[in-house]
Structures are given as structure tokens and as C-alpha cells.
């Protein structure tokens, strides 16, 4: 999110810095807010956290929080699915209570399901729906981030990098161990499904390739998420002796590879003994739980680069000995982790960042820049792939290092563009893409052919997608619902007519792109190869079932 006007920059940054530098005042405000909220809602709230003294050092408090299908699909009366198609406002309000009780500066969410911006707006925070991150401080989606990381900017021109993941849940490794899998089988599953695979969020191997480069440039990096995997620090020989479900020690590949890449597990830095403090985040209870549940610590706040872990707290329901921040009732099927760091912010690299990646003609485009402050620097708009000489709009930076420029789009042709920072010698310094569409243009989904042979891969393209973290494409039978009814479906916990997908692929937050459905696609309620019949592809939004667009129906025939 960018600052709206250059004139207000100093005032906004002054306000943010004061909040950042005075945690005691912030805690007093939060306590007042929570008391008011509890009084209005009638819900009970218990906060039990160790008091820590106000520090003169620069601190950042980071929370990872899987909020369970948008934060409004859990019925707190019975801890089962909410049966109201519109969701449960009481539960979503309790998610807000939990976030405020955490005293976090940054909250990386999983399963935001179209509610990320809504939560941030309610709190008066910044948001990045592309990574499901909300923050007290400005967030910048930089060139090179590509949905892998963003910057949080507590101090103007100085940043830390944030990455957030939600790795595939099934098959779940601890269940495989419980059910008799060998160590070799478990390692192979983890390496292929969670280390190498790139489904909802970028693959962990991509994080390992990219994020250490930021560290080498002096930028602290924080990687959070629901990893759906235990840690190699937890399944040790000592743990195997006391936990029956830990049949043998496992060096879980995701955690192990991240540690080798320089990432520190903040919870285990504070609580190094997994026997004394298992720190289970899965699960305080779940509609998706099983009778012989295997509890484990699968939600992590990892750090790399110039930072020191000061504290790490498990947050959840009353009665768990490891939970240090109690919110009652707890509104999720995952406990949260809140870690506090003493950090040395890195200098922001030269960049341009757009406030929206997808616009309609007539919308204003705000472009945040961080330049060198040299004369003759400017920000230009060029058609995608063109050089500065092809600019269709241009504004000078006026020698400023930081600022936001607003461009009108009324006279621009709908197409793909780049916002570009141009140096004082007319050279491109850096650029970032955005897409401009006609007013009222909808999302399009197309298949490469209208008829496929059974077993043939189906190539699917899309344009004008919202670009949410969890946007996905589902393969459906053409007669599984009438088109008119499907178009009326809004988000509901049980998905309405969009729940019976045969297989699916994630868009990785791309506005435009292409993917392939084949035997390697993620499984749903069907099997490959497709049998002869009529099918269609639907684009669903942000890991939920709200329909964004649908392809024309196509046929599958025998050869």
C-alpha cells in the first residue's frame, strides 16, 4: 500500500515512527480498545502474557496466524463448521481481538479467503492481499518480489522483507508415520510435495534461492506460515522416547533445508527443548481433525539476517501449558505464534511499486518510488517490454528520494504496462508491471481447444484475475451446476456449487497467466484421465469458493 500524497509523507512517517518507538503507549491503547470491544460484544477475553520492559532498541513483533477459511467459518459455540452461508461475524470479530491481543506489528495470515483487506481496514492497518500480510507500517510490493516477498517499512527508506507460505496439507507427514510409513517414504513425500512443489505459494526451494540474496544485501528477512510439516528440531531421538506417535526421529526436509539456508526458528531459539515445550500449533480442535489426531508444531516464524530473537510466544486457547497469550474463545483451528525481534533494518533498494496491479481505464495509479535523489530522475509509464523512450506518461521525482506520484489512466489504451524508474541519464533503473482493462471488463478463462482426447493435457489461460494469494482454477463437470446458478454463488463455507471440483491448479497470484491440467494436477473429487463428457474450468478467489470467472464448456472424447 502506498502513501496517497507526497505532501503528507512526513506527517504519516512521523506518526508511524512514534507508534513504533513507544510500545508502552501502544499497549495502553490496545488494552482500552479490547476492553471496549469486549464490553460491546459480550465475549470473554483473557490475555496472559509475560510483561516485557520497553526497549530502546528497534523492535518488530511478527505474528503468523492461520485464521481458518477467512476467519468466519468456525462456530465458536461448538467449534464446528458455521452453517450460515454468509459466515459468522462473531468469529471474525474474535480474530480481530486475537490480533490486537498479540500486540503484533505485522501479521502474516493464512486462509485469508477474501477477508485480508477487510481485517486490515478494520484495524486501520496496511494490507497486501497478494501475500496475505497486514501491518501497522507501510507495505511495499517491490520489483523482484514476484509474490515471493514484500517489504515492510517501519522507517522511511529502511525495510525488512516478509515472506509468507501455506504449504500443501495432504497427505500430512505425521499421519503417514502414524499409519506405518517408513522413514524413506516420509522423506520422499516431503521433498516432492512440500519442498519442491509449487502449489498455492511459491515452492520452498524458490525461497531458498531468493531470500538469502536479500540477507546478503543487509536486509533482515522473516519467513512465516502454515508449513503443514513438523520441524527437524522437534522430531528428535529424545522426543521419540516420550511421544508414541513419533515412531522414529525425522529430519523433516522443509525445516532442515531452511535452517541450512540460514533461517532461525524463533520459537526454538527461545524454547530449545522440544520435550519440555512442544509448542503444538496443530490443533486446539478442528472440524477437519481426526479421531487419532497427531498434534505438532507446524506454524513457524523464521528469521534470517541482521536480527536477534527477543521472545516468542504461543497464542491460543486457555488450558495449554505452552500458550502464553490466551484469547477465549480461540477463533481458529491453528494456534498462532508471535515473535519479537531486535532488528537492523536494511536500506531500501531503488524501486517503483504500484498500489494496484490491476486497474480499469479511469482509475488513478499511485506509484511509490525510492530513488537516488539525483536531478532529472523520473517515473514513466511504458507498454510492457518497452524502453523509456516509449513512455506514454511521465512525472519527475523532483530530486526526492522517496515519494508517491499519481498517474491518471483516462487516456491510456487497455493493455499491459510497466511503471519505470528512469535515472538522471535516461536509463531504466527498475520497473514493475501492471495491467489496465476496459471499464467493466471481467475475468476471462479460456482453454486452448474445445475438444480434447481423454488423457490429453488441458491448457488453460486467464486474464484480469484479482491476483489474490490463493486464487485457483478448478476443473468441473459441465453439468455439475447450471451456469446461471453458478454465477450467483457467493463465498460460503461449504462452497455451494463450486465445491465438487475434479482437480485444481493455483494461479500463484498472477493477473494473467497459463497453466496445464494433467495427471500431476492437485486432486479433487475426480480421477485422471477424464472420462468422455462435458467440462469447464472455473477461477475461484483466494482459497475460497467465490467465482471469479468460467471458461466455455469443452468436451473430452475417446481417441
Q: 444-557: what CATH class?
A: mainly beta
More reliable by pLDDT, 157 or 84: 157
pLDDT number for residue 47: 40
Say if residue 89's pLDDT is above 50. Answer: yes
Domain ranges of the chain: 6-347, 351-437, 444-557
DSSP symbol at 8: G
Give 480's pLDDT tier (boundaries 50, 70, 90): low
Q: Are 186 and 177 in contact (CB under 8 A)?
A: yes
Q: Are 222 and 163 in contact (CB under 8 A)?
A: yes
Q: How far apart are CA 556 and CA 533, in angstroms?
A: 5
Q: Is the backbone peptide bond immediately before 292 cis, with ω within 30 degrees of 0?
A: no
DSSP symbol at 235: S
CB burial of residue 15 (10 Å; 0-12, 13-18, 19+): exposed
Whats the size of the chain, residue-wise? Answer: 559
What is the rounded average pLDDT of the residues 375-382?
97
Tell how strand 364-370 and strand 351-354 pair up.
Answer: antiparallel
Over residues 316-366, the pLDDT tens digits come to 999 999 999 999 999 999 999 999 999 999 999 999 999 999 999 999 999
Question: C-alpha grid cell for residue 209?
Answer: 534461492
Packed helices 89-102 and 23-41: angle between N→C axes, nearest 10 degrees: 160
Give 56's pLDDT tier (boundaries 50, 70, 90): very low
Say if residue 261's pLDDT is above 60. Answer: yes
Give 200's pLDDT tier (boundaries 50, 70, 90): low
Listed range (111-120, 154-163, 472-481) with the worst mean pLDDT: 472-481
What is the rounded average pLDDT of the residues 64-76?
95
pLDDT number for residue 30: 45
Q: How far apart are CA 559 and CA 552, in angstroms?
A: 22
Listed range (5-19, 383-397, 501-515) with the worst mean pLDDT: 5-19
Q: What is the mean pLDDT of the chain?
A: 88
Give 482's pLDDT tier (boundaries 50, 70, 90): very low
Look up cell 496472559; give the residue: 48
What is the rounded average pLDDT of the residues 40-44?
42
Percent of the chain, pLDDT > 90?
78
Question: C-alpha grid cell for residue 196?
Answer: 519442491
pTM over 0.75, yes/no: yes
Q: Are 384 and 417 in contact (CB under 8 A)?
A: yes
SS3 515: strand
pLDDT number for residue 496: 57
pLDDT number for residue 199: 63
Phi, psi at residue 122, to the nearest 5°?
A: -65, -35
Tell me which fold the domain 6-347 belongs to: Deoxyribonuclease I; Chain A (3.60.10)
Listed range (22-26, 63-67, 308-312) with the worst mean pLDDT: 22-26
pLDDT number for residue 502: 95
Q: 351-437: what CATH class?
A: mainly beta
Buried b (16+ CB within 10 A) or exposed e, 19-33: bbeebeebeeebeee
Say if residue 18's pLDDT is above 50. Answer: no
Q: Are 404 and 368 in contact (CB under 8 A)?
A: yes
Q: Are 79 and 93 in contact (CB under 8 A)?
A: no
Amino acid at each position: 500500500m502506498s502513501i496517497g500524497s507526497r505532501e503528507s509523507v512526513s506527517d504519516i512517517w512521523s506518526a508511524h515512527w512514534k507508534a513504533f518507538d513507544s510500545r508502552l503507549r501502544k499497549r495502553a491503547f490496545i488494552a482500552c480498545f479490547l476492553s471496549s470491544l469486549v464490553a460491546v460484544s459480550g465475549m470473554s477475553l483473557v490475555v496472559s502474557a509475560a510483561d516485557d520492559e520497553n526497549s530502546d532498541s528497534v523492535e518488530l513483533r511478527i505474528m503468523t496466524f492461520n485464521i481458518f477459511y477467512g476467519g468466519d467459518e468456525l462456530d465458536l459455540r461448538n467449534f464446528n463448521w458455521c452453517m450460515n452461508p454468509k459466515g459468522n461475524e462473531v468469529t471474525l470479530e474474535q480474530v480481530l481481538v486475537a490480533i490486537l491481543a498479540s500486540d503484533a506489528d505485522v501479521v502474516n495470515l493464512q486462509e485469508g479467503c477474501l477477508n485480508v483487506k477487510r481485517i486490515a481496514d478494520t484495524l486501520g492497518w496496511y494490507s497486501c492481499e497478494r501475500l496475505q500480510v497486514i501491518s501497522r507500517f507501510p507495505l511495499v510490493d517491490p520489483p523482484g518480489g514476484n509474490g515471493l516477498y514484500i517489504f515492510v517499512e517501519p522507517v522511511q527508506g529502511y525495510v525488512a522483507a516478509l515472506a509468507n507460505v501455506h504449504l500443501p496439507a495432504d497427505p500430512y507427514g505425521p499421519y503417514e508415520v502414524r499409519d506405518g510409513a517408513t522413514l524413506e517414504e516420509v522423506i520422499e513425500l516431503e521433498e516432492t510435495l512440500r519442498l519442491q512443489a509449487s502449489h498455492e505459494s511459491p515452492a520452498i526451494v524458490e525461497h531458498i534461492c531468493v531470500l538469502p540474496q536479500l540477507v546478503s544485501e543487509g536486509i533482515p528477512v522473516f519467513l512465516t506460515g502454515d508449513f503443514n510439516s513438523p520441524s527437524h528440531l522437534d522430531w528428535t531421538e529424545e522426543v521419540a522416547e516420550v511421544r508414541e506417535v513419533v515412531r522414529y526421529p525425522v529430519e523433516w526436509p522443509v525445516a532442515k533445508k531452511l535452517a541450512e539456508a540460514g533461517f532461525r526458528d524463533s520459537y526454538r531459539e527461545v524454547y530449545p527443548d522440544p520435550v519440555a515445550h512442544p509448542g503444538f500449533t496443530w490443533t486446539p480442535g478442528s472440524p477437519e481433525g481426526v479421531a487419532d489426531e497427531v498434534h505438532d508444531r507446524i506454524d513457524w516464524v523464521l528469521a534470517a539476517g541482521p536480527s536477534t530473537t527477543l521472545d516468542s510466544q504461543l497464542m491460543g486457547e486457555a488450558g495449554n501449558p505452552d500458550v502464553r497469550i490466551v484469547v477465549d474463545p480461540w477463533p481458529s483451528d491453528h494456534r498462532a505464534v508471535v515473535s519479537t525481534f531486535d532488528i537492523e533494518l536494511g536500506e531500501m533498494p531503488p524501486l517503483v511499486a504500484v498500489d494496484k496491479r490491476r486497474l480499469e481505464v479511469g482509475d488513478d495509479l499511485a506509484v511509490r518510488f525510492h530513488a537516488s535523489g539525483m536531478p532529472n530522475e523520473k517515473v514513466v509509464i511504458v507498454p510492457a517490454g518497452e524502453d523509456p523512450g516509449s513512455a506514454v506518461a511521465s512525472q519527475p521525482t523532483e530530486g526526492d528520494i522517496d515519494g508517491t506520484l499519481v498517474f491518471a489512466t483516462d487516456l491510456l489504451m487497455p493493455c499491459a504496462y510497466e511503471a519505470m524508474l528512469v535515472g538522471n541519464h535516461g536509463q531504466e533503473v527498475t520497473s514493475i508491471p501492471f495491467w489496465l482493462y476496459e471499464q467493466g471488463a471481467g475475468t476471462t478463462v479460456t482453454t486452448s481447444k474445445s475438444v480434447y482426447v481423454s488423457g490429453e493435457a488441458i491448457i488453460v489461460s486467464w486474464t484480469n484475475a484479482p491476483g489474490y494469494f490463493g486464487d485457483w482454477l478448478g476443473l468441473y463437470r459441465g453439468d455439475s451446476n447450471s451456469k446461471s446458478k453458478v454465477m450467483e454463488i457467493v463465498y460460503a463455507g461449504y462452497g455451494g456449487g463450486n465445491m465438487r471440483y475434479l482437480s485444481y491448479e493455483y494461479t500463484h497470484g498472477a493477473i494473467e497467466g497459463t497453466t496445464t491440467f494433467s495427471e500431476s494436477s492437485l486432486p479433487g473429487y475426480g480421477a485422471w484421465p477424464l472420462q468422455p463428457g462435458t467440462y469447464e474450468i472455473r477461477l475461484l478467489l483466494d482459497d475460497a469458493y467465490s467465482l471469479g470467472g468460467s471458461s466455455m464448456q469443452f468436451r473430452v472424447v475417446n481417441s
